């Protein structure tokens, strides 16, 4: 499969295109199906980007995104090519107005990321290292529902997953290395502070 030079903007473009049908909302299953044609990493990118957008303010939205991220990551770890989501997630509808606002908010960030991500250190995106990245995404997704009441925590974890998904999508192992290193240092610092 040919990798796009604008993977983040492509996810936003796909979302906007689906919203142009004039519906009141966008079903999660529609977006997942459309992105899944391109890459499972693109499917993982969608909910993680949503978590760093204004959509994260919707009650229980972070939990739904976390469960979605966990399910996608688990299936990536299993090597599945076709994704499955339970009906309570796949049938969930994203409000059109809020989703359009979120894509507009993320446009400048998406353009900035697309300019800087390129194919580097690709050996870090092959097994066994790839499994570590997918495992981190799985853990971040599983933790999110428990952090619903703590402001911004889900957005931070969503940012971590977005960066790892982007590294997989673009073949940029350097971004994965920097992200994992930063996450490790943050966890280590928090552990030292707490204990």
pLDDT value of position 154: 87
- For residue 162, how many C-alpha atoms fall within 13 Å in the half-sphere facing its CB? 24
pLDDT value of position 103: 87
Domain range list for the chain: 7-194
Q: Which residues contact 69 (CB under 8 A, 6 or more apart)?
A: 44, 47, 48, 137, 138, 140, 141, 144, 158, 161
Tokens, residue 93: 């509808």
**What is the Cα–Cα distance from 35 to 124, expressed in whole angstroms?**
24
DSSP secondary structure string for all residues of 39-96: -HHHHHHHHHHHHTSGGGGSTTHHHHHHHHHHHHHHHHHTT-SS----HHHHT-EEEH
**What is the Cα–Cα distance from 41 to 64, expressed in whole angstroms?**
18
pLDDT in tens, the chain (195 residues): 445 667 888 888 888 888 876 567 778 888 888 877 667 888 898 899 889 887 777 788 899 999 999 999 999 999 887 788 888 888 888 778 888 888 888 888 888 888 888 889 999 999 999 999 999 999 999 999 998 887 778 889 999 999 999 999 888 999 999 999 999 998 888 788 877
Q: How far is CA 84 from CA 40, 90, 119, 149, in A?
A: 11, 9, 29, 28
Token pair 């409000």 is at which residue? 95
pLDDT value of position 4: 63
Q: Nearest-CA neighbor of 122 among 169, 181, 69, 75?
A: 169
CB 144 within 8 A of CB 62: yes
Q: Which residues contact 142 (CB under 8 A, 6 or more apart)?
A: 66, 70
> CB atoms < 10 A from the CB of 111, how many?
14
CB 134 within 8 A of CB 46: no
């Amino acid at each position: 499969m040919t990798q796009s030079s604008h993977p983040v903007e492509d996810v936003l473009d796909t979302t906007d295109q689906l919203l142009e049908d004039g519906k009141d909302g966008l079903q999660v299953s529609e977006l997942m199906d459309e992105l899944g044609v391109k890459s499972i990493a693109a499917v993982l990118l969608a909910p993680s980007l949503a978590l760093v957008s204004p959509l994260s303010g919707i009650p229980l939205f972070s939990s739904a995104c976390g469960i979605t991220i966990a399910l996608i990551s688990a299936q990536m770890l299993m090597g599945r090519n076709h994704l499955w989501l339970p009906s309570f997630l796949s049938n969930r509808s994203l409000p059109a107005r809020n989703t359009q606002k979120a894509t507009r908010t993320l446009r400048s960030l998406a353009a900035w990321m697309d300019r800087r991500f390129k194919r580097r250190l690709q050996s870090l995106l092959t097994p066994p290292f790839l499994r570590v990245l997918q495992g981190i995404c799985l853990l971040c997704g599983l933790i999110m529902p428990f952090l619903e009441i703590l402001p911004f925590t889900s957005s931070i974890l969503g940012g971590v997953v977005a960066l790892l998904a982007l590294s997989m999508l673009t073949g940029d192992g350097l971004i994965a290395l920097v992200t994992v290193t930063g996450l490790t240092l943050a966890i280590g610092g928090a552990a030292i502070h707490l204990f």
